[in-house]
Structure 1
Amino acid sequence: MSLEEKFDSAKDQVAGKAKEAEGKITGDESKEAEGKAQGFLGKVKDAITDVKDNVKDTVEGMKNDSEK
């Protein structure tokens, strides 16, 4: 996972938590839902990056195995 990807997903998760907390404090259900969605987006980005990294590692492993 690149540093940029880590930062992007962490940013979404933190911003989502902040919006969710703001929504709970102010009673704004829309803001709370928006925060939950943004936090979920950050988690999805993490998962996608993990899958991408696993595929990359698998392909590199297959290349190395075929070169033997």
Structure 2
Amino acid sequence: MNKDQVKGVTEQVKGKVNEAVGKVTDNPGKELKGDLQQGAGKVQKAYGDAKEDAKDNAKRNAP
């Protein structure tokens, strides 16, 4: 697991917390912030996943 994957998952968790707090406190701004954090986290994790896949493929195809 690389740093982008870890940061992406962390951002998703923070986003879920912010979204839940926004719902409980009836704060649409906080809820939206949580949604955006989750989206950003998913993108960062996907980037990290792609980097890992590329690294794994390079190792497999190395002479």
Q: Same fold, TM exceeding 0.5?
A: yes
- Secondary structure at the aligned position of 1:30 is classed as helix
Question: Which protein, 1 or 2, shows the higher relative CO under an 8 Å CA cutoff with sep ≥ 6?
Answer: 2
Runs of 4+ in structure 1 deviating by more than 4 angstroms, as ranges, are none
Larger radius of gyration, structure 1 or 2? Answer: 1
Q: Alpha-carbon deviations, 1:16-58, whole Å to 9, x = none?
A: 1111011111221111011011112222222111111111111
Identity %: 35
Between Structure 1 and Structure 2, how many residues are aligned? 63
**TM-score if structure 1 supplies the norm length?**
0.74
Unmatched 5+ stretches in structure 2:
none
Q: C-alpha root-mean-square deviation of aligned residues, in Å?
A: 1.6
**TM-score if structure 2 supplies the norm length?**
0.78
Unmatched 5+ stretches in structure 1:
none
